[in-house]
Structure 1
């Protein structure tokens, strides 16, 4: 039975590897199925789309979308959508603008604390793509303000530190609607890291299709807990390594190890295909 990783990142967002390099690495780890889930962009997926077959990889369309729910950021993993859907493309365009405005606000906040960095420096770290906090962390490291990514987040870039910054990310109900109308399915990313059990139940009730039960931040007990919850709620079970690149995060060694079984991929595709039939009626 083939192995799958449905949570990876490339240099189209905050990963290190190009889409082609990621495919090559996936091949070396003997993965059968891969989803590139860059933050609020499908540029990495589109670049890999025509190359995947050369590496013997089944590539599923994917993206990790940041949405707003109860004034809180929520990370949603969308899969197997029509990547040409106009409303879906427009959603991602708006998300890119929201990321830019948020990062400009973060830079202003850091400047007010005496840290001399510029937005263009952060954008350069992102290779002119979608900016995120890891790119700001890289600038802080290069300028000697912090010694590493962990320190950057603890001192300056954690969600708690940035609580006062307003964002213009899409509301979760809008994301759910647009992705589903594009024939896709949506799973809640790494639920054990970010949400209470009550919050997870509330999010499920909004219309999620799945839970990311398998993730490096979930120990065996947590995996069993979320898998049982997914089964009880008739949700898809998704999972992956959350790979960003060598040394980019504590999850990177798990690429090729934290994987998903083929039966879960087939269930995901069936759900998406059934939805696409309804959408196209």
Structure 2
């Protein structure tokens, strides 16, 4: 038997992926992934469905979410693994973020509608029932209307933070979010901290502050990081006593990312699993 392949960052249609949680778990099995983390944006709504698919698919499941945060006006994404899904404080923050995202998306549609033929119904048609609607769904609507070829083009043009159609949304402070995750029994991991192609990234002092608040790991091995980024983050993690993870950040057909293209070591995974408030589900 070869090494266990562990992918700790994926999305389903509950947020901005293109597969249902059930489909995602089975896609992971087909891709040779042994353990999968479901980390939809600001939501745990896909946990139960994904869990039900585990026995048949034969894939282990880490239940998590990707929390939208901010640090000095810069967007930060924080993965939370294995936290208590009934924690009131964390749930209140996640709900506020989902509500803000929905209002933000509607505001962006209103701005876009001044220049192109785009309606809120067009965007809703790109999301599953109950999904947290975000920029990827706006991008998909622009693709469907023929204004852009794919999500990447939409994000680089119409939906860019530097453009006239962009609207910010409410998000918790990154340091506060780390503390909330720990209080909820979760394991907080800074997702793609050096992904500069997505926009501004935080400086080292913020990573150090998050580490002091209880951050567990840096997601180092990610397609949006250069070799130099990975080298820098690996050294910083070692200095700060943080774990190093790797993940695909899979979104289905919405992005080029492929399941298992980056993985986390078994040793790191065992530490994460031991720290969580809920168990890793096994087939």
Q: Same fold (TM over 0.5)?
A: yes
What residue number does 2:236 align with? 229
What is the CA distance between 1:44 and its match in structure 2? 2.0
Q: Which moved more, 1:62-71 or 1:88-97?
A: 88-97
What residue number does 2:256 align with? 250
Is the counterpart of residue 216 in structure 1 residue 241 in structure 2?
no
Q: Which runs of 4+ in 1 moved over 4 A?
A: none
What residue number does 2:185 align with? 183
Out of 263, 272, 279, the residue aligned to residue 276 of structure 2 is 272
Q: For 1:159 and 1:182, locate their aligned partners in 2 and report how far apart those are by CA, in whole Å.
A: 32
CA displacement 1:142-199 (0-9 Å, x = unmatched):
2222232222122210122268624222232432232111100111111121425435
Out of 2, 10, 20, the residue aligned to residue 18 of structure 1 is 20
What is the CA distance between 1:70 and its match in structure 2? 1.0
Q: For 2:44 and 2:263, locate their aligned partners in 1 and report how far apart those are by CA, in whole Å.
A: 22
Task: Say if 1:34 and 1:162 are closer, same or farther in 2 by CA, change over 3 A.
Answer: farther
Partners of 2:159 and 2:166 within 8 A in 1: no
Task: Say if 1:214 and 1:110 are closer, same or farther in 2 by CA, change over 3 A.
Answer: same
What is the CA distance between 1:202 and its match in structure 2? 4.7
TM-score by length of 2: 0.87
Q: For 1:124 and 1:42, locate their aligned partners in 2 and report how far apart those are by CA, in whole Å.
A: 22
Task: Say if 1:70 and 1:135 are closer, same or farther in 2 by CA, change over 3 A.
Answer: same
What residue number does 1:238 align with? 245
Aligned residues: 270
The within-5 A match list for 1:108-123 is 108-112=110-114, 114-123=115-124
Structure 2: state its 5+ residue gaps: 279-283
